[in-house]
Amino acid sequence: MKKLLIFMLILPFLACSHDDDHGPEDMGIMFVENPERTIKVNIFYVETEETSDKSSYNLDEGEFIEYLNGYYFHRYGIGLELGESRVLINSELYDLRDNQGSEPSTFFMQTQDSYEEDKINIYIIKRSNIIGIAGMGRIQRVLLTYENLFTSTSPHEIGHSLGLFHNDEVKNIMSTTLDKQSRQVFNGNQEDKMKKRIDELKYGKSISAR
Ligand SMILES: [Zn+2]
């Protein structure tokens, strides 16, 4: 536990969401017809050799993208579009319990060859195979636990993957509050930053130093 705490202090924006999360209860769904910015989302189902022939995940991808757009992104003029989805066989990533404390470096190393730089790449693993972390996000890559897909953890980690850091404003999606049901909004700066980042990724404009 102490080890995890130190790790969280060092890398506050890499791994977050200690606790399981819940969906937005008092938020309205909002779709816009032509969002100003769009970005494709690839989905990777992480499996091992042993599990690869079973469909161990049962996700309605269209519903998931609609959830993200309707609750979190369309209202800011950002539209997520389903890109490719496939199974990724990677036993290192499938079970991160052996890598407790170094999950982010393991994640970024193990996804180096599969992610596409101009998209958001979501890697899904099982909640039972990672201890104390509900998700991670950075550099167009997001790790989400299957059990937390339809929660504010998803837009939070997507925010990280588009360059956002933590922000503890009330109701902010990038906050680290324990009451994750209250995470509902991006602020104007965050909206601008995400849009700028999408432009950089899509049109290759100069990428600012991190
Ligand atoms: Zn975070």
Mutual orientation of helices 153-161 and 61-68 as an angle, nearest 10°? 80
C-alpha 47: how far from chain center = 18
Alpha-carbon distance of 157 to 122, in angstroms, equals 9
Closest CA to 124 of 56, 63, 180, 176: 56
For residue 52, report the distance from its CA to the centre of ligand 1, in Å: 30
The residue ranges of every structural domain in the chain are 14-203
For residue 49, report the distance from its CA to the centre of ligand 1, in Å: 31
For residue 145, report the distance from its CA to the centre of ligand 1, in Å: 14
pTM attached to this predicted model: 0.86
For residue 175, report the distance from its CA to the centre of ligand 1, in Å: 7
Q: What is the pLDDT along the chain (210 residues), one digit of tens a residue?
A: 444 443 443 344 456 654 555 556 678 899 999 999 999 999 999 999 877 666 678 999 999 999 999 999 999 999 999 999 999 999 999 999 989 899 999 999 999 999 999 999 999 999 989 988 888 999 999 999 999 999 999 999 999 999 999 999 999 999 998 777 889 999 999 999 999 999 999 988 655 544
Alpha-carbon distance of 18 to 151, in angstroms, equals 13
**Dihedral of CA 183/184/188/193: which sign?**
positive
For residue 165, report the distance from its CA to the centre of ligand 1, in Å: 7
For residue 163, report the distance from its CA to the centre of ligand 1, in Å: 11
Burial tier of 8 (Cβ tally within 10 Å: 0-12, 13-18, 19+) = middle
Residues ≥6 apart with Cβ < 8 Å to 2? none
For residue 174, report the distance from its CA to the centre of ligand 1, in Å: 6
Q: Are 12 and 156 in contact (CB under 8 A)?
A: no
The CATH H-level superfamily of 14-203 is Collagenase (Catalytic Domain) (3.40.390.10)
For residue 13, report the distance from its CA to the centre of ligand 1, in Å: 5
For residue 48, report the distance from its CA to the centre of ligand 1, in Å: 27
pLDDT of residue 30: 95
pLDDT of residue 152: 94
For residue 53, report the distance from its CA to the centre of ligand 1, in Å: 33
CB burial of 84-123 (b: ≥16 within 10 Å; e: otherwise) equals eeeebebeebbbbeebeeebbebbbebbeebbeeebbbbb
